[in-house]
C-alpha cells in the first residue's frame, strides 16, 4: 500500500519525536516501505549545524541510526530555505512532491488556542498534501 514514507524532522527536537518515529518505522516494516527523513535548514550557521552541508551530514547520520535501530530502509533529504521560520511548510510540501512520497508521518502537539491563529506544520501539511498524512500526538 505504501512504498515511501516521508518523515519531516527537526533535528533540534529529536527527543520529542519518539512516538512518531516508532509509528513510521512500524508502518515502513509492515508495508516494506522506505522512510525518507526530510529536514529544513537555513543558509546561515545555526546552533545545530554550521552549514547546510553539515546539516545534511547530520540528517544522513540520523537516518542511518534509525535504519539500524528499527531495521528499515531509510534515506534523507536536507532542504535549504532562505528563511525556515517563514517557508518551512512550503519547503516540506515541495520535498514531499519531489520525493514521490505516498504517506507523511509527523509528530504533532495537542491543539492550543494559538493553533487557531497560526496553524502548526502538521495541520498545514495535512490540509494541503495530495497524499495521506498521519499526525502522531
Domain limits, the chain: 4-128
Based on C-alpha coordinates, what's the Rg of the chain?
14
- Tell me what the mean pLDDT of segment 97-121 comes to: 73
What pLDDT is recorded for position 111?
54
Q: In 3D, which of 106, 113, 98 has the Cα closest to residue 127?
A: 106
pLDDT of 113 > 70? The answer is no
Q: What's the angle, vertex CA 78, arms to CA 92 and CA 103, rounded to 5?
A: 45
The span from the CA of 75 to the CA of 66, in Å, is 10
- Sheet containing 103-107: give its strands across: 73-81, 34-42, 4-8, 103-107, 132-136
With the C-alpha atoms ordered 129, 3, 77, 6, is the resulting torsion angle positive or negative?
A: positive
Q: CB neighbours (10 Å) of residue 17?
A: 20
Domain 4-128: assigned CATH number: 3.40.50.620
Q: pLDDT, tens digit, for every residue of 27-60?
A: 999 999 999 999 999 998 877 889 999 999 999 9
pTM reported for the whole predicted model: 0.90
pLDDT tier, 127 (very low <50, low <70, confident <90, very high otherwise): confident
Amino acid at each position: 500500500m505504501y512504498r515511501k514514507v516521508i518523515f519531516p524532522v527537526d533535528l533540534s527536537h529529536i527527543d520529542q519525536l519518539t512516538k512518531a518515529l516508532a509509528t513510521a518505522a512500524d508502518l515502513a516494516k509492515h508495508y516494506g516501505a522506505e522512510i525518507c527523513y526530510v529536514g529544513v535548514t537555513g543558509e546561515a550557521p545555526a546552533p545545530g549545524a554550521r552549514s547546510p552541508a553539515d546539516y545534511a551530514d547530520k540528517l544522513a547520520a540520523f537516518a542511518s541510526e534509525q535504519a539500524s535501530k528499527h531495521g528499515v530502509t531509510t534515506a534523507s533529504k536536507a532542504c535549504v530555505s532562505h528563511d525556515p521560520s517563514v517557508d518551512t511548510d512550503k519547503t516540506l510540501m515541495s520535498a514531499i512532491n519531489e520525493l514521490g512520497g505516498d504517506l507523511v508521518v509527523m509528530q504533532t502537539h495537542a491543539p492550543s488556542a494559538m493553533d487557531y491563529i497560526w496553524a502548526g506544520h502538521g495541520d498545514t501539511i495535512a490540509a494541503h498534501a495530495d497524499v495521506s498524512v498521519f499526525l502522531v500526538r
